[in-house]
Chains A and B, each alone.
Chain A
Amino acid sequence: MNEQDPPAPRLVSRRRFVQGTAMAGFAAFLAACTGTKSGASPSETAPSAAAAASTEPSVGPTAAPTDKVVTGPLKFANWPAYIDQTTAADAQSGLLPAGSSKTIEDFQKTYAVQVDYEEKIGDNPTFFETIRPALAGGLATGWDLVVLTDWMAARIIAKSWAEQIDQENVPNCANNLRDALRGQTWDPNNDFHYPWQSGMTGIGYNAKTLAENKIAEPTKIADLWSIPADKLTFLTEARDTFGLGLLKLGIEPDPAKVTSDDLKKVADDMQPLVDKGLRFTGNEYLQDFGQKKVWAAFVWSGDLASSGGADDKFAFPEEGTMIWTDNMLIPKGAVNKYTAELMMNWVYDPAVAAQIADYVYYVSPVSGANEKIKALDPGAESNPLLFPTADIVAKQRNFQFLSGELETTLNDLFATLSGL
């Protein structure tokens, strides 16, 4: 066919693709501007020597000491719908293979290493159980990089089950991590973790199905109680489910104040729903939405926007949301530790970070990414998933770090609730 000019190596963001042809000229222009840059160089913090002249990928390991050898394949476990993926348009144009990711493809090209990126994590406890025996036995888990939520990351770090990150290898992370995410009590100097994305837990629903069944779109957590329970799912992530349950009952989900009795109230409040068919799921709620098995659910903020159908919506409940951050960790004994560090560094390049966040619709931990997102996707700044408004931020609650007693109660109540 027309084999003249290969298209500029620039991906069409999902939303912009949807915006259609009116934007096409502008998009092409943007593509020409930003494409080579975002494709090539993890920019700002690149070693200055390598920077200026060339447009070739010119970063990092060129200057690296010889013992820092890139090895692979990098085994990277992450949650579903959590990285930019090839859009239909890119797959058609042959720019990227279907089911791939520009972030990963570029990394593979730059470092000439294979990345086995797998969507293996549906909730924290279940995934943790798959690696715990190896960690406890002092064996390699088979993963080089995993992404886990704060409380689980803290637990793994406390057990010395994470490799210490060599900060020399991750200058982007050290420089670009947002101040608000620094100095966590469980790893104050980021010796073991760097955040992947932050997000919120709220309500997801299928607007069309609800309309067909003459049910108003939920705006409050309590609204879910008036939807047929067998069309609802809550999360197997017990902290999220009980946190929202507390908010629904008007109890402040503050780990320092919540009592076992409060949790008991939440369980009692949910038990009738369970009796009528409520189910608990991990990230596989995305499939349930896809099959219209579920009408409304507790979901994580970006998923439905990035990977749901056109009628699948996310709502910030009036009562508030749960806030959390998922973090990259290198499990103890990882065989490709250096490559894992390179990957951490890679995704902390603001251009790459913007590319990921603008696809997955979560909040990027990388400072400088916001500007890139706005440039990449004009109008994104009004998207509360990427840029939560002051009102939303004011209602974010963190219900992650529980006392031993509270955690035991939570696990017991949740097990009973889920029939286990």
Chain B
Amino acid sequence: MTAHPMARPGPGLRGRLGRALPYILLAPGLLWLTVFYVLPAIQMFTYSISTGSVENGYTITLSADAYSEALGKFGKQFLNSILYGGIATILTLMIGFPVAYTIAFRGGRYKNLILFLVIAPFFTSFLIRTISWKILLGDEGPLLAPLKHTFGLLPGTFSILGTPIAQVAGITYNFLPFMILPLYVALEKIDIRLVEAAEDLYANRSAAFRRVTLPLALPGVFAGSLLTFIPAMGDYINAELLGSPGTRMIGNVIQNRLLVQNDYPVGSALSFLLMAGILVAVAVYARLLGTEQLTG
């Protein structure tokens, strides 16, 4: 029921427009998602249950072969994705929280400047940022060369590139702003008087942080973790440039199957499994953090 009495008398143009307005406003977004997400997703799904080849076309055979191959052969890469994506998410949280906290509560008039600095690297392309890590972590790069030759701390054969360390470092770096910004937004909204009130009620500083600041920042943690974890899981650039065959992630396999081997069924099946995996992970995570209260 509309509360406003003026709206009652009827289906005038204004009223009808009023009721349609939300849909009109949603239309561009919905259309976009339909064309570029729903339809391709359906297409991918049909590939995943088809057999055939790029040359001879695909026929839907409802075969589950692609799924069994995807699950049977690429367990390691799935595991790598979860592991590296997970570690990177935790690292971004550990690095990002103090940064966001400082900007929100101690930033003062430099707030905007620091926020700008956080996103400044994004003015460079993702690829170039990742390649620059290749140089940075290179065997004779600016980090390792001095440690090896000047200080003699490391043996000459030591290298970081090609190991999971380089890969996780790259992912962490690339997704850090996605963690910091939502955290900042959440922390910035916190009414400082609540913390003061906690302290008035004999909470010490750490108790006030644990009982007041942290719970209020949880929506930011939630949003930041999702924004980091989901793309990190599917990322393949970092693995491609900083990793080695042993550290491949599921994104590499999907890229290879779809674009190099032209194995659309397995590539599509892998994509769907990844999507399902992420949905489950997010659902569990939301349940644990209790998002009903957080978002509502």
Question: Which residues does chain A contribute within 8 Å of B262, judged by CB atoms?
Answer: 129
For chain B residues 143-160, which have a beta carbon within 8 Å of chain A?
156-157, 159
A136-B54, A291-B138 given as contacts; is B248 within 8 A of A419 (CB)?
Answer: yes
Please state if B138 and A277 are interface contacts (CB–CB under 8 Å): no
Please state if B246 and A277 are interface contacts (CB–CB under 8 Å): yes
Q: How far is the CB of B262 from chain A (nearest CB, A)?
A: 8
Please state if B161 and A415 are interface contacts (CB–CB under 8 Å): no
Question: Which residues does chain A contribute within 8 Å of B61, judged by CB atoms?
Answer: none
0/1 per residue, B74-106, Cβ < 8 Å to A?
001100000000000000000000000000000
- B161 contact from A129, A293, A419, Cβ within 8 A: A293
A230-B162, A291-B141, A293-B139 given as contacts; is B246 within 8 A of A126 (CB)?
Answer: no
Question: Which residues does chain A contribute within 8 Å of B163, judged by CB atoms?
Answer: 277
Question: Which residues does chain B contribute within 8 Å of A415, judged by CB atoms?
Answer: 256, 261
Q: What bracket does the count of chain B residues touching chain A fall in?
A: 20 to 34
> B135 contacts the other chain (Cβ, under 8 Å)?
yes
For chain A residues 260-308, which have a beta carbon within 8 Å of chain B?
274-275, 277-280, 291-293
Please state if A411 and B245 are interface contacts (CB–CB under 8 Å): no
> A417 contacts the other chain (Cβ, under 8 Å)?
yes
Please state if A420 and B138 are interface contacts (CB–CB under 8 Å): no
Question: Which residues does chain A contribute within 8 Å of B73, judged by CB atoms?
Answer: 416
0/1 per residue, A45-74, Cβ < 8 Å to B?
000000000000000000000000000000
Question: Which residues does chain B contribute within 8 Å of A293, judged by CB atoms?
Answer: 138-140, 159, 161
> A188 contacts the other chain (Cβ, under 8 Å)?
no
A293-B139, A411-B261 given as contacts; is B244 within 8 A of A279 (CB)?
Answer: yes
Question: Which residues does chain A contribute within 8 Å of B139, judged by CB atoms?
Answer: 291-293
A228-B157, A230-B159, A277-B162 given as contacts; is B260 within 8 A of A418 (CB)?
Answer: no
0/1 per residue, B165-176, Cβ < 8 Å to A?
000000000000
Q: Complex formed: what's the CA distance from A19 to B275 in Å?
A: 60
> B33 contacts the other chain (Cβ, under 8 Å)?
no
Between-chain CB contacts (< 8 Å), 18 pairs: A126-B260, A213-B157, A231-B157, A274-B245, A275-B246, A277-B246, A292-B139, A293-B159, A293-B161, A415-B256, A417-B245, A418-B245, A419-B76, A419-B246, A419-B247, A419-B252, A420-B252, A420-B260
